[in-house]
Structure 1
Amino acid sequence: MLQEGAHGKWTVSSSDESAEENSDGEKPCTSSLSDAACGGTSGPQYPCSDARKAAHKRKASPLKLTDKSLSAEAPPAVKQRPSQESSGWCLSSSDEEPEDRQKHVHKETVKEEKHDVSKEHPLNLCKDDKLSENLKEEEYNVTPSEAQDIWDLVTGGNPFRFFLTKVSGIEQNYNSGALHIKDILSPLFGTLISSAQFNYCIDIGWLVRQYPQEFRKKPLLIVHGEKRESKAELIAQARPYENISFCQAKLDIAFGTHHTKMMLLLYEEGLRVVIHTSNLIAEDWHQKTQGVYLLGSTPGRYQGSDKEKWGHLRLRKLLKEHAASIPAQESWPLVGQFSSIGSMGADGSKWLCSEFQESLVAAGSGLTTFRKCDVPIHLVYPTVNNVRQSLEGYPAGGSLPYSIQTAQKQLWLHSYFHKWSAEVTGRTHAIPHIKTYMRLSPDFQKIAWFLVTSANLSKAAWGALEKNGSQLMIRSYELGVLFLPSAFGLDKGYFHVGREKLPERKDSATYFPVPYDLPPEQYGSKDQPWIWNIPYTDAPDTHGNMWVPS
């Protein structure tokens, strides 16, 4: 059934009906699923990006420093362009923009957690010891006292309702104030009637197991943007579950994605809305830092007053109307932190330091004229060493799909890059998948506003002006939450930076828990941003492995 409204076109169907749909010439295809089940190494059992697939392959078949297969699997060197010799990368000669080549360049990512294959799962067709080991689920049990802590955490003690996800492999005191997906779906919060999960990358079997046993057969609507083979794979996953139906977001503009990450949980007692940054796969809830008012993007071309409904122009409007104008705010830097990067153009004036920056510096009756790049910009994105030294090692880079084809065309952007570090929260070795943007005072002690969102640093996510600024074009669906001091009764116009690990301060709502270290540390002369589709063989990661993404 097709439904059309102001927010785009959606197809709502049951799992069985979706399997029979053929409007796009699609036929159910489970070849990649059955290959994964019987071979165990061909890839994840759900649609995902090439970067994720490479991470799965390397985890299944790690390459040690002395591994003879390394030389055989390493791709041949590609001739470097003279102007880029100092970059230290093996660069391709492609002139195509990644977003003009394949949709999956914009897709995000994964780290592999272990879980049991249920007897009812359609992939339980052959007994492969390696697959069983890879899919063994890590136990997640909650004691009565922990359940009480979860209840207290969500219902009070955190004035912002801003949480990070729990990370395995770090000291448990650093998970204080953090949530697992099973905490979010806990029966503590009511008697579930039905739910809807909006997301980009979805492992249905894993998702079902995150619900309490008593809720696993309740109606579940999955909102996605998959097409053709990947849609068929998603449908195939759901065949054992009669309670699951699908809503396909129509993406009429090429290379867009349904990147929104949201849960609607309907209880007998009421409705909960959870906006977060994690894909619905085990890896994103295991060893990555994630975040759990409202600011969204939806695909389309918008003119007139409609331009201010979505994307960065929506943020501009909200900041002008609700953010306080602070003296000398021109000197307050912007900090953006993300897990993927799109094409920014030949220089900063094409988007980053023009229309996008103008939206982020808007506030009350502040800057009346925009001056190009007057406001400092700090972009936080992991270095190669950040990834190499992480809990997951090189495979963590599968969730950071910045490609060499994009990077080599915007070397100017890298002068804005700063390292990922979260010493203050004890999560410095958990690679971020969270995306945050904020504006701070020059001493990094005060926050004018803070945004947690699914939107990475890309024009596809935030929108780009066309036709001499008269039209805003957005490719993807995104969703985030904007935290403004005025919404919490702070008349000074700013939050203080929370220096403790996710503080549960009961004295006031003035300390905002920033999930990484401030001030951010700029890349050194030897630092390089993580690029997923080139090899790293000079030094082993935390598991003693190399990275060859072929």
Structure 2
Amino acid sequence: MTQESSYGKWTVSSSDESEGDEKPSSLDEKKTWFEKPSTSSLSNFGQDVLNDPGYTCSDARKAAHRRKLSPVKFESKNSTSQISLPKKQKASQEDLGWSLSSSDEESYPKGPSKHPLKEERCPSPKELSEHRPRSSQPPNFPKTEEDDVTSDEDQESWDLLDEKNLFRFYLTKVSGIMPKYNSGALHIKDILSPLFGTLLSSAQFNYCFEVDWLVRQYPLEFRKKPILLVHGDKREAKARLQEKAKPFENISLCQAKLDIAFGTHHTIWLSPLYPRLPYGTPRTYGESSTNFKSDLISYLMAYNAPPLKEWIDIIEKHDLSETRVYLIGSTPGRFQGKHIEDWGHFRLRKLLKEHTSMIPEQQSWPVVGQFSSIGSLGVDESKWLCSEFKDSLVILGNHGKNQGQHNVPLHLIYPTVENVRNSLEGYPAGGSLPYSLQTAEKQLWLHSYFHKWSAETSGRTNAMPHIKTYMRLSPDFAKMAWFLVTSANLSKAAWGALEKNGTQLMIRSYELGVLFLPSAFGMDTFKIKRKVFSEKQEPATSFPVPYDLPPEIYDNKDRPWIWNIPYVKAPDTHGNMWVPS
């Protein structure tokens, strides 16, 4: 079947059904973008390019990697050419202008690993000496061109971290934009800097790892220190990660062994540098008013992984009492009774009940959600989004369901095709936005909630988001009731879905986030910092929302970015088209 869209004509040859949320299989939330064996014929790509972008990742990111290595240049004649998709697809609605690929919940590939597996073990942090106090000046150490970070940049980052930053909320530095738009942002090199002290060992939790790149982010004097990579890879993907880590004797791997699903976190919230408790102090000491220490330990214990027991022991020995945020995690499983509020959106609901107040004027305040991937949410809004999930987000105080909550506006921010096309990376940026055709065509109702991604940057180009945030705002977008930064995208797999007549919450994935509540900072509400990059100084108590407000709803010509269909009628910022196969 041939379909025409505003971005070009393409051919659908057959159907490729995606798997729904209800199917109890091994699924990945961040996603279940795990690799299905490709049936596409890519004669112009070497096998190393097709299968190995240098790190484990989703099909969407692999497509982006392929197109970066071998871009398809835009030519006007391509606007009328037909491009055959390698997999069979269901025919989509006539007025869509696009069709879909694998859903947010695919099964893992089957079959034996292609590489021998090495034993995974965790370095023993107990054998390591304690952190030395951070120095007041950046230490001198040799650098190579590849690792060049000037002393001025070092000191600038140190000044940023050393300043009174009330919320300790930072964005990630972006290459290719004016320096002023990176003000207040951090690179992973900043976090690993000797300015924090002498690094003894580290544990990295993530969805995908580019091992060579990660090692280069460590200062030279720390690159031989023990590094633990906590991952969710299985089978071929796991074997590839092991091969990538094999040359580094100081790197060990910890696989999250899961029966349902795995998702990891990309949050950037920077804690204070926690001091060690005096020897002999009970390990239950050093707790914060937000219960952060015990909640973090509970999250790590949920992995049931021996390598993480070492890190639990370290956390227990430190004083986390300075923490002023609440931890909200998700762990795979089915939870009932008193445990139904331990994880997912029921955990958020519990905290909002206990630590917010029933203020009448806030009952109608909008909820804003922003994310980079979307799961299967059901045939209409009543199945999950505007029932159990929204019920959790609109709770105010311990009064059960609040009156008027069904009238609360819900604004969902997700990039349009034009957002991606005009971004810094162009179309390949969509590799980190794996909303697929099979998922989207099942929930066309959802798109009426969509608002454009818009953040203040240089010129007309923009960096595509991978951050995920949720918040409750006043109608004039000047005040905020709460703010959550998390790894959880908009999916039941990440947040959980009720089963057994609402008595059981089923979660497929690991997720982690931190919740900012005004009460923890001695405030009634947060004032929003409207112009994050403005020269005008705003109070330190203003919260830096990472995108423009108010959100701008999609117009009639806007379409949500769908990663696995071609866009050939208009070039991106690099003069290329998008042909994902």
- From 90, 96, 102, the counterpart of 1:87: 96
What is the Cα deviation at residue 139 of structure 1?
4.8
Q: Which moved more, 1:40-49 or 1:537-546?
A: 40-49
Contact 1:165-1:178 at 8 Å conserved across structures: yes
The aligned counterpart of 1:75 is: 85
- Change in Cα spacing, 1:357 to 1:259, as seen in structure 2 (3 Å) is same
- Change in Cα spacing, 1:426 to 1:167, as seen in structure 2 (3 Å) is farther
Secondary structure, counterpart of 2:407 in structure 1: coil
Structure 2 residue 509 is matched with structure 1 residue 476: yes
Contact 2:371-2:413 at 8 Å conserved across structures: yes
1:343-382 to 2 correspondence within 5 Å? 343-365=376-398, 368-369=401-402, 373-382=406-415
Structure 2 residue 262 is matched with structure 1 residue 257: yes
Write out per-residue CA displacement over residues 158-212 of structure 1, whole angstroms, 9 at most, x where no aligned residue: 2100001111111001111111111110011100111111111111111111111
Letter in 1 for 2:572: D
Tell me how far apart the structure 2 counterparts of residues 465 and 517 of structure 1 sit (CA, whole Å). Answer: 33
Contact 1:502-1:515 at 8 Å conserved across structures: no
What is the Cα deviation at residue 248 of structure 1?
1.3
Tell me how far apart the structure 1 counterparts of residues 151 and 100 of structure 2 sit (CA, whole Å). Answer: 55
What is the Cα deviation at residue 412 of structure 1?
0.1
- Change in Cα spacing, 1:461 to 1:91, as seen in structure 2 (3 Å) is closer
Segments of 5+ residues of structure 2 without an aligned counterpart are 1-43, 110-143, 278-291, 297-324
Q: CA RMSD in A?
A: 3.3
- Change in Cα spacing, 1:205 to 1:67, as seen in structure 2 (3 Å) is farther
Write out per-residue CA displacement over residues 53-111 of structure 1, whole angstroms, 9 at most, x where no aligned residue: 111111111112239899575428988858x212222468xxxx82554359xxxxxxx
- From 239, 243, 246, the counterpart of 1:236: 243
- From 33, 58, 63, the counterpart of 1:49: 58
The aligned counterpart of 2:220 is: 213
The aligned counterpart of 2:72 is: 63
The aligned counterpart of 2:557 is: 526
Tell me how far apart the structure 1 counterparts of residues 458 and 542 of structure 2 sit (CA, whole Å). Answer: 15
Structure 2 residue 374 is matched with structure 1 residue 341: yes
Tell me how far apart the structure 2 counterparts of residues 73 and 357 of structure 1 sit (CA, whole Å). Answer: 40
1:304-319 to 2 correspondence within 5 Å? 304-319=337-352
Letter in 2 for 1:240: P
The aligned counterpart of 2:103 is: 98
Letter in 2 for 1:238: A
Contact 1:190-1:269 at 8 Å conserved across structures: no
Letter in 1 for 2:528: V
Q: Which moved more, 1:435-444 or 1:419-428?
A: 419-428
What is the Cα deviation at residue 156 of structure 1?
2.2
Tell me how far apart the structure 2 counterparts of residues 268 and 305 of structure 1 sit (CA, whole Å). Answer: 31
Structure 2 residue 438 is matched with structure 1 residue 405: yes
- Change in Cα spacing, 1:170 to 1:439, as seen in structure 2 (3 Å) is same
Contact 1:62-1:546 at 8 Å conserved across structures: yes
How many residues of Structure 1 are paired with residues of Structure 2 in the alignment?
458
Write out per-residue CA displacement over residues 112-148 of structure 1, whole angstroms, 9 at most, x where no aligned residue: xxxxxxxxxxxxxxxxxxxxxxxxx995533333322
Write out per-residue CA displacement over residues 418-439 of structure 1, whole angstroms, 9 at most, x where no aligned residue: 0000027989600000000000
1:17-36 to 2 correspondence within 5 Å? none
Letter in 1 for 2:54: Q
Tell me how far apart the structure 2 counterparts of residues 498 and 73 of structure 1 sit (CA, whole Å). Answer: 46
Contact 2:204-2:228 at 8 Å conserved across structures: yes
- From 168, 173, 180, the counterpart of 1:173: 180
1:148-547 to 2 correspondence within 5 Å? 148-253=155-260, 256-261=261-266, 293-365=326-398, 368-369=401-402, 373-423=406-456, 429-490=462-523, 493-501=524-532, 508-547=539-578
Tell me how far apart the structure 1 counterparts of residues 452 and 267 of structure 2 sit (CA, whole Å). Answer: 28
What is the Cα deviation at residue 500 of structure 1?
2.5
Secondary structure, counterpart of 1:432 in structure 2: coil
Contact 2:420-2:427 at 8 Å conserved across structures: yes
- Change in Cα spacing, 1:308 to 1:243, as seen in structure 2 (3 Å) is same
- Change in Cα spacing, 1:320 to 1:406, as seen in structure 2 (3 Å) is same
Tell me how far apart the structure 1 counterparts of residues 459 and 191 of structure 2 sit (CA, whole Å). Answer: 22
Tell me how far apart the structure 1 counterparts of residues 360 and 459 of structure 2 sit (CA, whole Å). Answer: 34
TM-score by length of 2: 0.73
Letter in 2 for 1:63: V
What is the Cα deviation at residue 269 of structure 1?
6.9
What is the Cα deviation at residue 409 of structure 1?
0.4
- Change in Cα spacing, 1:543 to 1:243, as seen in structure 2 (3 Å) is same
What is the Cα deviation at residue 149 of structure 1?
2.1
Contact 1:157-1:506 at 8 Å conserved across structures: no
Contact 1:55-1:549 at 8 Å conserved across structures: yes
Secondary structure, counterpart of 2:472 in structure 1: strand
Contact 2:104-2:374 at 8 Å conserved across structures: no
Tell me how far apart the structure 1 counterparts of residues 357 and 58 of structure 2 sit (CA, whole Å). Answer: 40
Secondary structure, counterpart of 2:391 in structure 1: helix
Contact 2:487-2:511 at 8 Å conserved across structures: yes
What is the Cα deviation at residue 526 of structure 1?
0.5
- Change in Cα spacing, 1:397 to 1:152, as seen in structure 2 (3 Å) is same
Tell me how far apart the structure 2 counterparts of residues 91 and 349 of structure 1 sit (CA, whole Å). Answer: 23
Tell me how far apart the structure 2 counterparts of residues 205 and 405 of structure 1 sit (CA, whole Å). Answer: 34
- Change in Cα spacing, 1:434 to 1:145, as seen in structure 2 (3 Å) is same
Letter in 2 for 1:260: H
Tell me how far apart the structure 1 counterparts of residues 490 and 108 of structure 2 sit (CA, whole Å). Answer: 16
Write out per-residue CA displacement over residues 463-488 of structure 1, whole angstroms, 9 at most, x where no aligned residue: 00100110000000000010111111
Secondary structure, counterpart of 1:98 in structure 2: coil
Tell me how far apart the structure 2 counterparts of residues 176 and 454 of structure 1 sit (CA, whole Å). Answer: 23
Tell me how far apart the structure 2 counterparts of residues 181 and 245 of structure 1 sit (CA, whole Å). Answer: 20
What is the Cα deviation at residue 231 of structure 1?
0.8
- Change in Cα spacing, 1:475 to 1:166, as seen in structure 2 (3 Å) is same
Tell me how far apart the structure 1 counterparts of residues 448 and 416 of structure 2 sit (CA, whole Å). Answer: 13
What is the Cα deviation at residue 371 of structure 1?
5.7
TM-score by length of 1: 0.77
Secondary structure, counterpart of 2:172 in structure 1: coil
Tell me how far apart the structure 2 counterparts of residues 36 and 215 of structure 1 sit (CA, whole Å). Answer: 37
Tell me how far apart the structure 1 counterparts of residues 47 and 442 of structure 2 sit (CA, whole Å). Answer: 41
Letter in 2 for 1:527: D
Secondary structure, counterpart of 2:208 in structure 1: coil
Secondary structure, counterpart of 1:302 in structure 2: strand
Secondary structure, counterpart of 2:186 in structure 1: coil
Tell me how far apart the structure 2 counterparts of residues 270 and 213 of structure 1 sit (CA, whole Å). Answer: 26
Segments of 5+ residues of structure 1 without an aligned counterpart are 1-34, 105-136, 276-291
